[in-house]
């Protein structure tokens, strides 16, 4: 993940929007797929995206608190 402090607020907001859309898409894909391998792969992708989203939201919150 990039150094969040080097991202502009607009870049941060854009990345948050992208991650939210990716999470929505992965969730939709997961409901249409079956099989342990698919479930594991989707779970890993969701975890990575959620971790990054959480970090971005914390950075956004930190900036707004200034």
Please measure the distance between the N-terminal and C-terminal CA atoms of the chain and give it in whole angstroms: 23
Q: What is the pLDDT of residue 1?
A: 64
Question: Is a pLDDT exceeding 80 seen at residue 3?
Answer: yes
pTM score: 0.84
* Residue among 22, 19, 23 at smallest CA distance from 60: 19
Express each pLDDT in 16-60 by its tens digit.
999 999 999 999 988 887 778 888 899 999 999 999 999 999 999
Q: What is the pLDDT of residue 50?
A: 97
User: From residue 66, how far is each of 13, 59, 60, 61, 63 by CA, in Å?
Assistant: 17, 11, 10, 9, 6
Q: What is the pLDDT of residue 32?
A: 84
């Amino acid at each position: 993940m990039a150094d969040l402090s080097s991202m502009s607020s607009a870049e941060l907001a854009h990345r948050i929007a992208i991650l939210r859309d990716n999470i929505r898409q992965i969730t939709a894909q997961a409901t249409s797929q079956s099989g342990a391998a698919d479930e594991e792969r989707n779970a890993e992708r969701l975890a990575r995206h959620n971790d990054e989203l959480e970090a971005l939201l914390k950075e956004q919150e930190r900036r707004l608190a200034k």
